[in-house]
Amino acid sequence: MDAGSAHTSESDSAETQAALSGPTEKCGVVGVALEDRAAARPLYYSLYALQHRGQESAGIVTHDGFQQHSHVEMGLVGDAFDESDIEGLAGHTGIGHVRYPTSGGVNACCAQPFSVSFKSGSLGLSHNGNLVNADEIRSELADLGHAFTSDGDTEVIAHDLARNLLEADLVRAVKRTMDRIHGSYALTIMHDETVLAVRDPQGNRPLCIGELEDGYVIASESAAIDTLDGDLVRDVRPGELVVLEPDGSGFESYQLIEQDNTAHCFFEHVYFARPDSIIDNKLVYEARRDLGRKLWAESGVETDVVLPVPDSGRAFASGYAEAANETTADGAPRGDDEGTVEFAEGLMKNRYVGRTFIMPTQGERERAVRLKLNPIKSTIEGRSVTIIDDSIVRGTTSRQLVSLLRDAGAEEVHVRIGAPPIVSPCYMGIDMASREELIAADRSIPEICEEIGADSLGYLPVDAIADVLDQSKLDLCLGCVTGEYPYDIDGEEADRDVQRPVIGDGERAHADD
């Protein structure tokens, strides 16, 4: 990943942040219902397992059958909770959230789960994704007298659902809200002590169901289920509402909306999800290795050594090197006399450089990659090397990496990327970068290659992604690499017909429509 975040002095922090950060997942969500055990601790462990999906804030809301308990703090999971916080979260059911903010600002009011009490009970909401029509619904609800405390889209969903719950039962109320909101959402919801999970009709963000010895869990990724010693049951289906029995004995499923095509975010497989998670029945690590193998077949170049950019490039590089040892770059079987392609960890990552560090000047900023990654000279010196990463966003890190390897004595530096060029922003909850910042938005691959100073550069084509993930392109969101989106977004091209609810015309959608 063309990543690494820096935090600088006030005057240039935004610039440096922008220059050095990669795409960032917005959130991770979880929900549990247990037979006879407090939900707080399993939720806490699950949030640890989902920490990679959001580091800005963490929170848990539980319900003990009488009242809701909530603890939401800024910071990492380990910093947000202490023992007494967990003890205070009473009840066998609850939901949790880790957040990285993109819309809605960086402050405590937007941290989640969002909780609210209203006439017919209490609601808690954890949201991963981004609504593209939140402003329209917010202004409609504001006209009806709803007062909002944040500018985030999660509160919009909570208010709309609370309003629908005054007129309809739980399932119908959720259906009404789903009929009105448009965009990407994987939600865990608490209505009093009942935990629900909802995935948008196109299934943009992942969400899965797990079974524990004494209950059920819903989580953004199956790695959270593993952490609780549970078994993955299946993914929540696009357009499905799952209702966990509050006593942990099972769950009910309601397919509330059916759509012909899904829009799974292909970047989950490429970068966001943990390699040990299973999404769409495929282990993410295997998907990345297969993408690496495909990368060799599509754009392999003969070099002495293949290096992953840690950690995100590792699975791609191992697949790429494995394929490189089976066939030559021309696709012919590799003979004994053609030697082997070495796969080596030639870039060492400093794990103690966190998400932010102080970089006051441009010269210092140039050292950002050096602080994070150090080349092993003996692996690189006098040799031709290929570095493998999952994506290039702004190109800053790739340029610095290439120069780092040349300084370490590499004779040639080739760059291979396990995804297509990122040409457009993401509107579905990923902090990608603006179009102006994306190096591939207005440059050809040879131009990018020149810009980052590599001897050659190769990406995976879009077709190869669909092929490896064994999905039709029409069932994937590929918006950031094609510029055509599966949702109806002002000023952008749509890649399919979108049935969008009409907002604010006085007609409200009904669950039994």
Q: Is 430 in the site for ligand SF4 (CB under 6 A)?
A: yes
Q: Is 271 in the site for ligand SF4 (CB under 6 A)?
A: no
Q: Is 459 in the site for ligand SF4 (CB under 6 A)?
A: no
CB of 106 vs ligand SF4, minimal distance in Å? 20
Token digits of residue 472 = 């039709």
Nearer to ligand SF4, 315 or 477 (CB): 477
Angle between helices 13-20 and 396-407 (to 10 degrees): 70
CA distances from 23 to 20, 33, 107, 314, 429 (A): 10, 33, 20, 18, 10
Q: Is 477 in the site for ligand SF4 (CB under 6 A)?
A: yes
Nearer to ligand SF4, 81 or 272 (CB): 272
Q: Is 266 in the site for ligand SF4 (CB under 6 A)?
A: yes
CB of 156 vs ligand SF4, minimal distance in Å? 19
Query: How many residues lie near ligand SF4 (CB under 6 A)?
Result: 11
| CA atoms within 13 Å, Cβ hemisphere of 61 | 25
14-20 CB contacts, 8 Å cutoff, 24+ apart: 16/359, 16/365, 16/368, 18/394, 18/433, 18/437, 19/365, 19/394, 19/396, 20/365, 20/368, 20/394, 20/396, 20/397
Q: Is 426 in the site for ligand SF4 (CB under 6 A)?
A: yes
- Respond yes or no on whether the N-terminal peptide bond of residue 160 is cis (omega within 30° of 0): no
DSSP assignment, residue 272? I
Q: By C-alpha distance, which of 416, 395, 310 is closest to 353?
A: 310
CB of 493 vs ligand SF4, minimal distance in Å? 12
CB of 182 vs ligand SF4, minimal distance in Å? 14
Which range binds ligand SF4 by CB under 6 A, 220-228, 282-290, 374-382, 476-484? 476-484
Q: Is 479 in the site for ligand SF4 (CB under 6 A)?
A: yes
Q: Is 3 in the site for ligand SF4 (CB under 6 A)?
A: no
Q: Is residue 27 annotated as part of the catalytic site, yes or no?
A: yes
Token digits of residue 471 = 């999905």
| CA atoms within 13 Å, Cβ hemisphere of 136 | 16
Q: Is 392 in the site for ligand SF4 (CB under 6 A)?
A: no
Q: Which of 27, 110, 208, 480 is catalytic?
A: 27
d(CA 110, CA 149): 9
CB of 418 vs ligand SF4, minimal distance in Å? 14
Q: By C-alpha distance, which of 109, 103, 150, 145 is closest to 128?
A: 103
Only one residue has tokens 């829009």, namely 263
Token digits of residue 257 = 């909306």
Binding string, 183-222, against ligand SF4, x = CB under 6 A? ---------------------x------------------
Structure-derived torsion over alpha carbons of residues 469, 473, 474, 476, reported in degrees to the nearest 10: 50
Only one residue has tokens 């702004």, namely 394
CB of 151 vs ligand SF4, minimal distance in Å? 21
CB of 185 vs ligand SF4, minimal distance in Å? 12
Binding to ligand SF4, residues 125-184 (CB under 6 A)? none
Which range binds ligand SF4 by CB under 6 A, 150-158, 228-236, 471-479, 501-509? 471-479
Which range binds ligand SF4 by CB under 6 A, 261-269, 297-305, 396-404, 462-470? 261-269
Binding site for ligand SF4 (CB under 6 A): 204, 265-267, 426, 428, 430, 477-480
Q: Which residues participate in catalysis according to the annotation?
A: 27
